[in-house]
């Protein structure tokens, strides 16, 4: 069964905004994963967070579970890291949604909203320093204590696509 709503206005914690569509999730998960640490930020609530990684210059920290510390070897020479994290406060059943800051409805996979079947977020962050199992970074947009999934070096040579476009977003800004 597909759940839709005609209610307008801000969604409640479990509510839907007008025209949003939720679908029932599959009966079981296909994989499991490890939270390998936590991201510590100044923001306690979703509403306080930057909308994206470039919106704040706040220095935040990634606290890696010490069991994985060997995995940081070599990372000290890296200027920017891709941080993958788990948006643990997001619902997972919306396929069509109206994000708080846009209001226009779009398919989940056309958006960077944390609300998705697998609420995996990514940011490219500047790596300031590594002290033991703690990384200081600039460029993250999650609430304090958000679970960490992975850290990878950002390669400008292969990860950067300078002429990439998101048509609906460009139109919206005009």
Ligand X SMILES: C[S@@+](CC[C@H](N)C(=O)[O-])C[C@H]1O[C@@H](n2cnc3c(N)ncnc32)[C@H](O)[C@@H]1O
Task: Report if residue 92 touches ligand X, rule: CB under 6 A.
Answer: no
Task: Report if residue 142 touches ligand X, rule: CB under 6 A.
Answer: yes
Nearer to ligand X by C-beta: 53 or 81? 53
- Among 81, 98, 123, 151, indicate the residue that binds ligand X (CB under 6 A): 123
Binding-site size for ligand X (CB under 6 A) equals: 20
- Among 16, 22, 36, 49, indicate the residue that binds ligand X (CB under 6 A): 49
Tell me if 37 sits within 8 A of 83, measured CB to CB. no
Tell me if 122 sits within 8 A of 87, measured CB to CB. no
Nearer to ligand X by C-beta: 15 or 132? 15
Task: Report if residue 60 touches ligand X, rule: CB under 6 A.
Answer: no
CA-based end-to-end distance of the chain? 38
Task: Report if residue 89 touches ligand X, rule: CB under 6 A.
Answer: yes
- 126 Cβ contact partners less than 8 Å away, ≥ 6 residues apart: 79, 80, 137, 138, 139
Tell me if 119 sits within 8 A of 33, measured CB to CB. no
Q: Which residue has the tokens 């947009």?
A: 141
Task: Report if residue 37 touches ligand X, rule: CB under 6 A.
Answer: no
- Among 38, 112, 126, 152, indicate the residue that binds ligand X (CB under 6 A): 112
CB atoms < 10 A from the CB of 21, how many?
Answer: 17
| Residues in contact with ligand X by the rule CB under 6 A | 46, 49-53, 87-90, 112-114, 121-123, 141-143, 146
């Amino acid at each position: 069964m597909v759940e839709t709503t005609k209610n307008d206005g801000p969604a409640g914690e479990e509510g839907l905004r007008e025209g949003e569509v939720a679908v029932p999730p599959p009966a079981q998960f296909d994989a499991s994963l490890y939270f390998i640490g936590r991201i510590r930020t100044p923001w306690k609530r979703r509403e306080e967070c930057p909308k994206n990684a470039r919106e704040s210059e706040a220095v935040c920290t990634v606290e890696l579970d010490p069991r994985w510390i060997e995995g940081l070897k070599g990372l000290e020479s890296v200027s920017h890291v891709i941080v993958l994290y788990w948006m643990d406060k997001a619902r997972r059943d919306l396929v069509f949604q109206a994000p708080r800051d846009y209001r226009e409805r779009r398919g989940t996979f056309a958006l960077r909203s944390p609300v998705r079947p697998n609420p995996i977020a990514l940011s490219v962050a500047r790596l300031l320093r590594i002290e033991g199992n703690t990384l200081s970074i600039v460029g993250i947009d999650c609430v304090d204590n958000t679970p960490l999934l992975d850290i990878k070096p950002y390669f400008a040579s292969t990860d950067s696509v300078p002429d990439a476009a998101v048509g609906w977003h460009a139109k919206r800004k005009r």
